[in-house]
């Protein structure tokens, strides 16, 4: 039963887009954000850690953002492994092993 629960934990609900609205004027900015996320991963050898709250507080003030929003963003980066796709075999094949005694 333990293995079943382990596999069950890996399942995620499909993500649904929360709205159909998108301001196309920011498409290039969003692409730049994706580029910066990738640069961040590469610069840290995919092990960035989590910034000190003092840094987050300063960035929130500097860029007029909510601290909790930034904490959430960095939490998502830190937990990236949770977002990796789950590889699931299509079929299991049983193999009979003949053991000679």
Question: Per-residue pLDDT tens for 45-85?
Answer: 988 899 999 999 999 999 999 999 999 999 988 887 777 77
Residue 94's pLDDT band (cuts 50, 70, 90) = low
Query: What pLDDT sits at residue 87?
Result: 74
Query: What pLDDT sits at residue 83?
Result: 73
Query: What pLDDT sits at residue 2?
Result: 52
* The 3-state secondary structure of the chain, one letter per residue: CHHHHHHHHHCCCCCCCCCCCCCHHHHHHHHHHHHHHHHHHHHCCCCCCCCCHHHHHHHHHHCCCCHHHHHHHHHHHHCHHHHCCCCCCCCCCCCCCCCCC
Q: Are the C-beta atoms of residues 56 and 74 closer than 8 Å to each other?
A: yes
Q: Are the C-beta atoms of residues 86 and 10 closer than 8 Å to each other?
A: yes
Question: Per-residue pLDDT tens for 26-52?
Answer: 999 999 999 999 999 999 998 889 999
Query: What pLDDT sits at residue 8?
Result: 46
Instruction: Show me where the domains of the chain are located.
Output: 24-81
pTM for the predicted model, two decimal places: 0.67
């Amino acid at each position: 039963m333990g293995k079943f629960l382990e596999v069950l934990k890996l399942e995620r609900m499909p993500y649904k887009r929360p709205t159909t609205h998108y301001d196309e004027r920011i498409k290039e900015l969003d692409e730049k954000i994706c580029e910066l996320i990738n640069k961040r991963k590469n610069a840290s050898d995919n092990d960035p850690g989590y910034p000190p709250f003092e840094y987050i507080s300063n960035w929130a003030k500097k860029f007029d953002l909510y601290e909790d929003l930034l904490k959430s963003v960095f939490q998502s980066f830190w937990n990236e492994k949770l977002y990796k796709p789950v590889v699931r075999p299509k079929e299991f094949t049983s193999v009979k092993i003949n053991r000679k005694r």
